[in-house]
Amino acid sequence: MSERPVPSSIDPAEVAKFQAMARDWWDPQGKFKPLHMLNPTRLDYVTAQIAAQFGRDLAAPTPFQGLRLLDIGCGGGLMAEPMARLSATVTGADAAEGNIAVARLHASEQDLAIDYRATTAEALAAEGHRFDVVMALEIVEHVADPAQFIATCRDLLAPGGMLIQSTLNRTAKSFAAAIVGAEWVMRWLPKGTHDWRRFITPDELAAMTQATGLRVVDRCGMVFNPLGWSWSLSHRDLSVNYAMTALRDA
């Protein structure tokens, strides 16, 4: 009797987009320049949320020692690597094998032990993996079924675990910034990287997240200042990029 196939929220067309750009992950002036610019702000948000939930001191030498962390849709490892440096036990997963090849090579060059896997959230859940923290950053707008994907992320959490998501709001401002600005004018990203119709409002994301039984505890915007050419966190402005934290109660 054959095993039933594991369902997948992967959208092959979306995976193909990022597979084609895989070699550029660690070029700060290349096709992932917007993520390189955003990354320090994402890292500030993620580390603060984890430290607060698990009672960790970010000034300690190994603040995340003992925490199991999954970066789903990890790309080339822009967030996985700093989390490993903070001593978390990191698994990075991505459906695009080209991304994983780049991530493994770069981590090896940095002497970082990260368990990179060319796989899906659904496959990891089916194998019984559980994590203290799941990061799903800039991925939910690219999956075939966001609600099902979030439910799978919930299944990947151990009791008391934390899901941190970040994505793009569906507003006129986000269309202007993420598509017209980043793709058409600045040409930081290839045209067609994002589909505005797939962007998700904070209320929609919160509803999908809470429908899985997770408890949303924080929403925060990530705001780009074109004058200072810098990013900052804002709990008032979630009009373009934003992050959301939810907990799986014990």
φ/ψ (deg, to 5) at 219:
-130, 140
- In sequence order, which ranges of 57-194 are alpha helices (DSSP H)? 80-85, 97-109, 121-126, 146-155, 172-174
Q: What pLDDT, on the 0 to 100 scale, is given for residue 211?
A: 98
> Mean pLDDT per segment of 10 residues, for the chain of length 250 residues?
55 61 78 86 98 98 98 96 98 93 92 97 97 97 94 98 96 75 53 75 98 98 88 96 95
Residue 125 and residue 155 in contact, taking contact as beta carbons nearer than 8 Å: yes
Residue 137 annotated as binding?
Answer: yes
Cβ atoms < 10 Å from Cβ of 109:
9
- Give residues with Cβ within 8 angstroms of 106, minimum separation 6: 25, 26, 76, 77, 81
Q: What pLDDT, on the 0 to 100 scale, is given for residue 34?
A: 79
Is the dihedral angle over the CA atoms 232, 236, 238, 242 positive or is it negative?
A: positive
Residue 94 annotated as binding?
Answer: yes
Q: What are the boundaries of each domain within the chain?
A: 12-247
Q: What pLDDT, on the 0 to 100 scale, is given for residue 3?
A: 47
Residue 73 annotated as binding?
Answer: yes
Fold of domain 12-247: Rossmann fold (3.40.50)
Residue 30 annotated as binding?
Answer: no
DSSP state of 230: E
DSSP state of 2: P
Residue 90 and residue 46 in contact, taking contact as beta carbons nearer than 8 Å: no
Comparing CA positions, the residue from 179, 200, 135, 162 lying closest to residue 55 is 162
pTM of this structure: 0.87
